Chains A and B, each alone.
Chain A
């Protein structure tokens, strides 16, 4: 038997034979379901021609009607040459009116041409020809275009005759000849408009059958009460899950491929009515290959999300209620590809879903930027692997199978961690929607309200609602002097470490100028008052943010018996997210991790508060007095003293932690 071991395997290898048995059965089962067939095969094939036929029909009907209509115009022509031309045009009918302007306003006629003088002789000023039209009426626009064409041909015929009469060729009289050329090839323009629209279609076509399948294969197993039987067979859970998961992915990929193939076929064969778009649309094979290449990891990623959600539902109905918002939410980032001006670069390439949408858009206009495309595929594969791992481990857990909760030890505490994280994210939203707006209105008061009101307020509210004693919730324990000394020693080295990381990061990810401007704006906060500046930027964050992230969140994580590294990592990540800038996550999370470690070891919030205040304070002072804090240290003495401070500080904290543990 051929075996392969999953990368995250704990419970032993996946057995390809069992995976195959489950896969074949699920496929057969799905192919007998009318809904699945519709979503997976019929709809993707029919969508492209339907869309094209529908949209071109609507457009054509409108255009054809006007282009066939005979439109009334009037003409005053002293030369009588133009009038003769117009009368011979069957698409125009010439009416005699007294006042052409009034007639146009009354919509009796749709255009008028006025030539007041006879044709001038050579050397005289050219004759003035006026075309009257009403821009707000579509018919008037069409009529004036027809009039203009006549005027232009008349004028060039007159010109040619004159040139001939003086015996010169065109090149001698005409100094400039112009014509505008649209550099975008028609195929490229068609591709661009399709490229904008296509990612959303593709995502929908990928998720629609996948959600039908995920519901049937996972929630359905519970609704039909077949899951116990399945799980008491010899095949192990991991293989069963993989078999089902492969079916969902196959369905998602199949639907996408069928849509692309149908698009290619119908556009090549020209079986759809030829209008401007269809005549020029050329879906090239390389474009489609790239689209497929970026879609597959995304298909796995989205399928894993859908499966993870569907597995939590106990019935079809519940699954549908859960899946619909997920699908809509997933379409949102794809809508980014509709926005003009957003292009794919190395950062955007890491944003799930949006990256794929943009990559598809590039590919459909014939651009293949190699590095972003590779990043898209790679990051999607990573996300897919991560979610898949989550999905598999959830499905393997007992609660997923029988709707029962896992055994007691650590259970309510795991809930506490989840709760704290959700609370943190909810506060982040509040901070984002309210705090940021306040700060935009007035930076100083907005910042103070955000810190003391939103962040500290939310933390206190949470502790009050959960009836947590303040001392426990915020780690309000008197620290040992050594711990405070450690916090002081660590502030500067951490600042430089974070700064160094930021500098390192900006080598790969260029930081936009606006970020620096925003930072400098911060430093002008105190209106010249240094104490106010220090209070707003150093003391307030030191107290409020520490109470929130290291006091409450980290404290709940500890309560949940999370391992130290995990608790510190996630609380630091949350802290980084609060800075609302992708560029600042790394440096701020680094600082947050050190503060987290301080609190974890000393079980007191005060060293972290001191540390944070000093850290921010150094930044403020550095900015104000051109103190070293702005640039990285270069002198060996500086570096040596920073390293020494870091080592001493770390030792002080580490030893403090040991003591407090031995005391406890």
Chain B
């Protein structure tokens, strides 16, 4: 298994007029491999979204680098973007386009070969059971239908890396389960998945390795077992609290 994501001392600094300088992401480093689900676990405002946005080339790191699929996020951002699928919990769709048009649009934007485009789109339509409403405008779809279209849209160009930023926020349990099941399947397809959440149970269910992040810093990285033995706690909530209290520790 080779390393698909390698974040090296990423820093993102903001200036906030009220609070002054804000270190949203403070020297974050981690690796993530093919066929692995890597979790970023932390409370709201811990820096998860900012970290993922830097990986997705939406934000430029203040310092540090990240290499995805062999490409540098700053210097080769276009190639990075071609290698990733990005989905966040509050992602929307174009209301006046149909699911089919949406999928075709994003396949083209990601330069998916025109010759195989229809075949790829139709296979996703079958896989996510979109057939029934494939020609209905997205504004008329239910939340569950929309979420299926959103996932299909994120993977339409068959990217090697998937970045999910709190993808289940705002979803009901059944829809969230569909999504989590799909993420598990990505592991079997040898994708590299980064997944952020503040829900401990999701992290326990999905993640091969977890980075606990708080106030922009990674407190610890490891499998659930490793984190348990590190802190001597069984439940993730307890592990998290223990890490906060003992300060930064890292498992190599």
Are A and B physically bound partners? yes
Given A224-B94, A404-B14, A405-B15, 17 extra CB contacts under 8 A:
A22-B109, A229-B153, A232-B56, A232-B58, A232-B81, A232-B84, A233-B106, A233-B110, A234-B111, A234-B157, A235-B109, A398-B58, A398-B59, A402-B59, A405-B14, A407-B13, A412-B17
Q: Which of A27-35, A131-139, A529-537, A554-562 contacts B (4 or more CB under 8 A)?
A: A27-35
Decide if B188 is an interface residue (CB 8 Å cutoff). Answer: no
A408 close to B (CB within 8 Å): yes
**19 contacts across the A-B interface (CB closer than 8 A):** A21-B109, A22-B109, A25-B97, A32-B96, A224-B92, A226-B94, A228-B56, A228-B58, A228-B91, A229-B91, A232-B86, A233-B81, A234-B81, A234-B109, A235-B109, A398-B58, A402-B58, A407-B15, A411-B15
Interface status of B198 (Cβ within 8 A of chain A): no
Report Cα–Cα, A402/B110, bound state, in Å.
21
Interface string of A407-418 (1 = CB under 8 A from B): 110011001000
- Give chain A nearest CB distance to B15 CB in angstroms: 4
A141 adjacent to chain B (CB < 8 Å): no
B191 interface residue, CB < 8 Å from A? Answer: no
Smallest CB gap from A240: residue in B: B109
A401 to B53, CA, bound (A): 11
Instruction: Establish whether residues B93 and A226, one from each chain, have CB atoms under 8 Å apart when the complex forms.
Output: yes
Counting residue pairs across A and B whose Cβ atoms lie within 8 Å, the total is 92
Question: Which B residues lie within 8 Å of A18 (CB)?
Answer: 109
Listed in ascending order, the chain B residues whose CB lies under 8 Å from chain A are: 12-17, 21, 53, 56-60, 62, 77-78, 81-82, 84, 86-88, 90-97, 101, 105-106, 108-111, 137, 153-154, 157
Contacts of A224 in B (CB 8 A): 92-95
A412 to chain B, nearest CB (A): 6
The 9 closest A-B pairs by CB, nearest first: A225-B92, A408-B15, A233-B109, A232-B86, A224-B92, A234-B82, A32-B96, A411-B15, A234-B110
CB distance B14 to A225 under 8 Å? no
A275 within 8 A of B: no
**A230 contact set on B, CB distance < 8 A:** 109
Q: Give Cα A279 to B58, complex, Å.
A: 60
Q: Which A residues touch B14, using CB under 8 A?
A: 404-405, 407-408
Interface centre among B53, B62, B86, B92 (most CB of A within 10 A): B92
**Across the interface, do B86 and A225 meet the contact criterion of CB distance under 8 Å?**
no
In the complex, A236 has a CB within 8 A of chain B: yes
Nearest CB of B to A475, in Å: 26
Give Cα A369–Cα B90 distance, bound, in whole angstroms.
56
| Chain A neighbourhood of B78, CB < 8 A | 234, 236
Min C-beta distance of B148 to chain A, whole Å = 15
Which residues of chain A from 348 to 397 have any CB-CB distance to chain B below 8 Å in the complex? Answer: none
B91 engages A226 (CB within 8 Å): yes
Q: How far is the CA of A337 from the CA of B240 in the complex (A)?
A: 70
**B17 to chain A: closest residue by CB:** A412
Q: Are A398 and B60 in contact (CB under 8 A)?
A: yes
Q: How far is the CB of A242 from chain B (nearest CB, A)?
A: 14
- Residues on B with C-beta less than 8 A from A407 are 12-15, 60, 62
Is residue A50 within 8 Å, beta carbon to beta carbon, of the partner chain?
Answer: no
A352 to chain B, nearest CB (A): 33
Q: Is B59 within 8 A of A226, CB to CB? A: no
Taking the closest CB of chain A, its distance from the CB of B40, in whole angstroms, is 17
Assembled-state Cα–Cα distance A234/B93 (Å): 18
Question: Are A412 and B58 in contact (CB-based, < 8 A)?
Answer: no
Determine if A231 is an interface residue (Cβ-Cβ < 8 Å): yes
Distance in Å: Cβ of B216 to nearest Cβ of chain A = 14
A16 CA / B82 CA spacing, docked (Å): 18
Task: List residues of chain A with CB within 8 A of the CB of B62.
Answer: 407-408
Contacts of A402 in B (CB 8 A): 53, 58-59
Chain A nearest CB from B49 CB (Å) reads: 9
Closest CB-CB distance, A388 to chain B, in whole Å? 22
In the assembly, what is the distance between CA of A235 and CA of B77, in Å?
A: 10
CB–CB A229/B16 < 8 A:
no
Which of the listed residues A226, A228, A235 has the most CB atoms from chain B within 10 Å of its own CB? Answer: A228
Contact present for A408 and B13 (CB under 8 Å)? yes
User: Contact: A226 with B92, CB < 8 Å?
Assistant: yes
Tell me whether A228 and B86 are in contact in the complex, defined as CB-CB below 8 angstroms, given that A398-B60, A407-B14, A408-B14 are known contacts.
Answer: yes
**B79 (CB) vs chain A CBs: closest residue:** A234
Complex Cα gap A225–B154 (Å)? 14
Shortest distance from the beta carbon of A57 to any chain B beta carbon, whole Å: 38
Known: A225-B91, A412-B17. A231 touches B106 (CB 8 A): no
Once bound together, how far apart are the Cα atoms of A21 and B13, in whole Å?
A: 35
Interface members, chain A 203-262 (any B CB < 8 Å): 224-226, 228-236
In the bound complex, how far is the Cα of B108 from the Cα of A233, in angstroms?
9
Interface string of A150-165 (1 = CB under 8 A from B): 0000000000000000
Return the CB mask of A255-288 against B: 1 if under 8 Å, else 0: 0000000000000000000000000000000000
Cα–Cα, bound, A39→B251 (Å): 61
Least CB distance from A37 to B in Å reads 12
Cα A404 to Cα B84 with chains together (Å): 22
Enumerate chain A residues within 8 angstroms of B111, measured Cβ to Cβ.
234-235
- In the complex, the chain B residue whose C-beta lies closest to that of A236 is B78
Residues from chain B with Cβ under 8 Å of A232 in the complex: 56-58, 81, 84, 86
| Bound complex: CA A411 to CA B108 (Å) | 37
Contact with A21, one of B16, B91, B92, B105 (Cβ below 8 angstroms): B105
Q: How far is the CA of A18 from the CA of B106 in the complex (A)?
A: 11
Tell me which residues across on chain A come within 8 A of B105, comparing CB atoms.
Answer: 21, 25
Closest CB of chain B to A409's CB: distance in Å?
8
Q: How far is the CB of B91 from chain A (nearest CB, A)?
A: 6
The complex places the Cα of A25 from the Cα of B101 at a distance, in Å, of 9
Chain B residues near A404 (CB, 8 Å)? Answer: 14, 59
Q: Which residue of A lies closest to B60 (CB)?
A: A398
Instruction: Report the bound CA distance from A127 to B213 in whole Å.
Output: 112
Q: Is the CB of A29 within 8 A of B110?
A: no
A369 to B167, CA, bound (A): 62
Min distance, Cβ B48 to any Cβ of chain A, angstroms: 14
Across the interface, which residues of B come within 8 angstroms of A234, CB to CB?
78, 81-82, 109-111, 157
Chain A residue contacts of B94, Cβ below 8 A: 29, 224, 226
Give every chain B residue within 8 A of A236 (Cβ-Cβ): 77-78
Complex CA gap A234/B157 in Å reads: 10
Most chain B CB within a 10 A radius of its CB, from A229, A232, A233: A232
B124 to chain A, nearest CB (A): 15
A32 to B82, CA, bound (A): 29
- CB pair A405–B16 under 8 Å, yes or no, is yes
* A33–B59 CB distance below 8 A: no
CB distance from A19 to the nearest CB of B (A): 11
Most buried by B among A235, A398, A412, A415: A235
Which residues between 5 and 23 of chain A lie within 8 Å of chain B, taking CB atoms? Answer: 18, 21-22
**Bound Cα distance from A33 to B137, whole angstroms:** 12
Q: A76 vs B47: C-alpha distance in the bound complex, in angstroms?
A: 103
**What B residues does A225 contact at CB under 8 A?**
90-92
| In the complex, chain A residues whose CB is within 8 Å of the CB of B58 | 228, 231-232, 398, 401-402
Query: What A residues does B157 contact at CB under 8 A?
Result: 234
Contact A29 B84 (CB under 8 A): no
B106 touches A229 (CB 8 A): yes
A residues less than 8 Å from B106 (CB atoms)? 229, 233
Q: In the bound complex, how far is the Cα of B56 from the Cα of A32, in angstroms?
A: 31
